[in-house]
Amino acid sequence: MNRSAVVADRPTSADPAARAAFAVLLIITLCHLLNDSMQALLPAIYPLLKRGFGLSFGQIGLLTFTYQATASLLQPLIGQYTDRRKLPWSLSVGMVFSLLGLLGLSVAHSYPHLLMGAALLGVGSSIFHPESSRIARLSSGGRHGFAQSLFQVGGNLGTSFGPLLAAFIVLPLGQRSLGWFCLLALVGAALQAHVGRWYAAQPAAAPRARHAGGPTLGRGRVAGALAVLIALVFSKYFYLASFSSYYIFYLIHRFGLSTVAAQTDLFVFLGAVAAGTFIGGPVGDRIGRKQVIWVSILGVLPFSLALPHVGLGWTIALSVVIGLVLSSAFSAILVYATELLPGRVGMVAGLFFGLSFGMGGLGAAVLGLLADARGIDAVYGVCAFLPALGILTALLPDLDRRAAA
């Protein structure tokens, strides 16, 4: 093949379709930022809710579990359904459920009402993620790792904004100020309607069959690889739950920080998570998904073991390293899983987004009970060993080598 033919096959900046697709990728990334900003407000206001409603750590864990259980259980079902049938309008519907969840939390006057608001937030997230992840892949121009990382970093940035929004708006103004963030949901719904129109105009993709040029694995090896990926997701998100739900309380308890200072340190950690997520996808495109998964899970172990035994400065520094390295795994895991199961993008995205929420929710509930029974320090002592599960990466088949062969 001559050089001109190769260049002609690449989408260029002058190609209107490529420019439109990249614009959609940017919009869906912005929507992910808006969606996860709203979702992140719930754990960010836990100190406010703990004081106002007299909650125990166990009740806070159950609140997180309720939100993340509804977010996790529905996602694989929605993803599997939309693998067979497009639902462009569902993108805006997810934002509407998030809006209702925020409204519910802003006016809640009892613990059951808080649980209901958290559940509605979870439903909004479960509708948003599978189809949005599919659109990120569809608009990637073949750079699946880059597109998935960009999409993920939108969500991580949104998550990192939650503590700042809570520290400087919700904590000073009170619980009812959560209602103002419904404006984010309205903006997101409008943007998602635009993305939905673009998506509806795209030709339906036929299910991809495995072909001679791609990696071919038997059902047993595919099932084994998926089991390893699930274990790695468990390790990653169970550990991250200790930060998202309890890092603020840990800093306040151990180092005597104010709530605003602790919220700011959580923002720093979540910012590192966003940066690591963006780095992981393009690096995986270049050196392979399995290598990224190796480093991002097992590579955290020395830092997680040191964290419970250092002072404030080193705690913040180690948390940044942990967030940066550990977060690079998810994009690589998601792209690796879609290569294991070609043609099942929605189901794979729903399964792994659902697992990430489910493991996070389960982790928050279990760690809340541990904090009530043994103290908040015990949470980080136990979680320090979770990255050791990264050794299971050795059992994953090397799809890049098989494809090259």
266-296 tens-digit pLDDT:
889 988 887 887 777 677 667 777 888 888 8
Question: Which contiguous run of DSSP H or E holds residue 154?
Answer: helix 144-165
The pTM assigned to this predicted structure is 0.65
Q: What is the dihedral of CA 40, 36, 110, 359, to 10 degrees?
A: -80
Tell me which DSSP letter residue 203 carries: P
**256 belongs to a structural domain:** yes
Name the residue range of residue 154's domain: 17-201+217-404
CA distance 404 to 2: 21
CA distance 324 to 76: 27
CA distance 27 to 19: 12
**2 belongs to a structural domain:** no
Grouping H, G, I as helix, E, B as strand and the rest as coil, residue 368 is helix
Tell me which DSSP letter residue 239 carries: H
Q: Which of 179, 77, 54 is nearest to 127 (CA)?
A: 77
Give the pair of three-digit tokens for residue 200.
Answer: 């509806």
**Domain harbouring 345, CATH code:** 1.20.1250.20
Tell me which DSSP letter residue 392 carries: G
Give the pair of three-digit tokens for residue 334.
Answer: 């998601």
Tell me which DSSP letter residue 309 carries: G
**3 belongs to a structural domain:** no
pLDDT, mean of residues 192-208: 74
**4 belongs to a structural domain:** no
pLDDT of residue 115: 94
**135 belongs to a structural domain:** yes
Total domain count, the chain: 1
- How buried is 400 (Cβ within 10 angstroms: 0-12 exposed, 13-18 middle, 19+ buried)? middle
Tens digit of pLDDT for each residue in 35-88? 888 888 888 888 888 888 998 888 988 888 888 788 777 777 777 777 777 777
